[in-house]
Structure 1
Amino acid sequence: EGNIAGTIGIAIDVTERRRLEQQLQQAQRLEAVGQLAAGVAHDFNNILTAILGNANLARLTAPASIQPLLAEIERGARRAAQLTKQLLAFAQRSAIYMAPVDVNAVVREVVSFLRETIDRRIDLVTELSDGLPAVQADATQLHQVLVNLILNARDALLPLLEEAHPRETVGRPLIISVTTDFVHVEQVPPHSLLNASPGDYVRITVHDTGIGMDKGTLEHIFEPFFSTKGPGKGTGLGLATVYGIIAQHKGWINVYSEPGTGTAFRIYLPAAPATATIPAPAPAATEERPTGRETILVVDDEDSILSLLQRSLPAYGYRILTAQDGAEALEIYRRQGNEIDLVLLDLSMPGMSGREVLAQLLEIAPQARVLIASGYVAGHQAVQGLLEAGARGYVSKPYQLDELLRAIRQTLDAGSYPPNGSRASNASADAGE
């Protein structure tokens, strides 16, 4: 008769699929930006190495009237190095040194340090769980994560202290809280960033009662140079650095925020095995610049770095040979290898890479001492891979003269990495091959 007798419908809930698609798109966007950031940091740090090194060298002989100007050059270069360090952290290209870490101890240290820098009208409080397992982490980078998150929380509260903000919000409590606890995750919460997975975690939560963020802002907060602050009030790298560091630590992040209600960042770090022991602090590095009488072959494609080391290292007793690429380095080593005590080798060079040069040097002389000079190394495992390939040590760019001298002396004397458990020979992983 043509009448409709009934209907059949099928409904599929695609909410989870859409959420996963959005997370994938964000991860791909951040990865692309990270690759660009790493390339910029690489080139920039070669320039900073020359600036810092020459400023160090000039201060040795400059008259007193020039010393303040040179000190300003050094300070400016170090600030620039900090920016590239943050770029590399976001790009997951900074070197990290993993060991069992007491999270509560790091929180206490950071909170004690920052308490004096935060407006007294803002309460900075902690709630730390007892008996937490250690986490396998780089304590220095975990320190940086907490500093960035707490300062970000402070900035979210500052508008509430300004007279221009709507009067009805002035009376709300102004609180930054840092809490730690142990969690066993069976099901990953929604809106988790990075490769979240079930397991045992130490969770760090940084919560503020500030102005909060809308959905559009939340989608971009981990991108480098994205900032809701005014000009001159930040680099836009704080949360990008947090993202990169947590990614390198195989952890993950949740962010909850709404306009007018505040924000909570929850960081999950994999708990270390119960047998992990927290190492004692390494002894402080000596201030004295070590000297020597050995011959060093410096291999780097940057003329400014070769020129710097040709001028600076002989002042500390070393004889210097130079090569601008791998082929020239191998030719020199075949001809004068019995005179060369150490090869200071850049990783990124045109033609033959530093890794290829390392392999061929060790074929010529398996006992050769090779010190890698680079900051563009993706974490502890990559550094460990270079050492397993035969390198004797690693120093990151941009290095200062005293850092390089300690790395050279320790590699010549011990050939281990890191020497005696110390990080003194590894300039802060600021980066750039």
Structure 2
Amino acid sequence: MAFDSLSNKLNKALRDISGKGRLTEKNMEDMLKEVRVALLEADVNYKIVKDFLVRVKEKSLGTDVLESVDPSSMVVKIVHDEIVELLGTQEATLNYATDGMTVIMMVGLQGTGKTTSIAKVANLIKNKQNRNPMLVAADVIRPAAIEQLQTLGKAIDVEVFSKGVEVKAIDTVKEALVYAKDKGYDTVLIDTAGRLHIDEELMNELKEIEVIAHPQDILLTVDAMTGQDIVQVAKSFHEQLNVTGLVVTKFDGDSRGGGVLSVRSITQVPVKFVGQGEKIDEIEYFYPDRMADRILGMGDIVTLVEQAQEKMDLEASEEAAKRMMEGSFTMDDMLVQLEQVSKMGPLGGILKMLPGMNQYADMINEADAEKGLKRQKAIIQSMTLEERSDPSILNNRRKNRIARGSGTTPQEVSKMVNQFEKMKTLMKQMGSMSKTGKMPNFGGMFGGKK
């Protein structure tokens, strides 16, 4: 995530002050120095850092904090609230028209993921908000952009309006708006041309489209990897267009994230969406409070639950979980659970959303974890239905056959069967505990006394 480095350093600074019995001017200064370094290294604007620290210090050394039962926790809350203030105190939603058709323009420089982002937004509002969107290919400078948008539109089952590269962008937009109204579309998303840099020709074209389309939203795509350049690009576009929100792409990359923290304070343009990957569904609304929680290692349970509801087959998972607790858990149930975990994305990303687990996320080798999941699934899929139902029948001959079929070794097959049996025993004991209130016996499972 864009804030990983900042998150680690801020957490260290706040852990240091949590170990102090009470707040003093001295230990506050030590903590603030660490916070200052963390923010500057994350590429946050210097003036914003300076103002941020002044506000944190003033509030932290106030009477209410100093006389509280746990002043260090109060400091954490103050830092949290100030980060929310930087990011925006509330979610910035799309400005849907109260009557008639909503028009959204997507603008940005080349290479920022503009065309992919507009398709992602169309897919998101279609599936999450029951909108009926249409995409407009108004980037007539690059033929590849039109082809890309048409491919993406087909993938998400959203119509793409295009007149090709021979027709001017402004004429394409005019015809598209008439067409969309006639066809009953409630949302039109216009993909505009980009450049390698901001120039007069680009801005004049965008201004013309803005005048004709009267968009409720003008979304600017910015690349999280560009740091402070986000602020300069947003300022330049906003000075000439009524930019209403940002779509931050490559948010899952290894960037410092300071531009995202700085941009709203300097431009007053909020972040509305963040792109978390290459897949069409890997975009999410930007919630400042949830992001502040993640930055400070507090997790993001709400987003995790939302993602689980969207990506997992909850009915299949609940059925498998029920059988687990009853002790009738099979390899097929285990396969269901493995597939559900895979749908949730990288394991490290899941850990970052769990309170207190952020520090362990970087310890996971995602490539190895994904490889391990695939191998486990392959082993189960290479079993017969009888073997999945009752793994105890697996002898050496069967294990050798399964290993050949799954591209693994007999030892890996045996290891997985042992893990399955231990899990089955544990779940059965937990099921009994829920009925009797007694703790299960874990000793025999992990080599201790029974």
Q: TM-score, normalised by structure 2?
A: 0.30
Higher RCO structure (Cα 8 Å, ≥6 apart): 1
| Structure whose alpha-carbon radius of gyration is higher | 2
More strand by share: 1
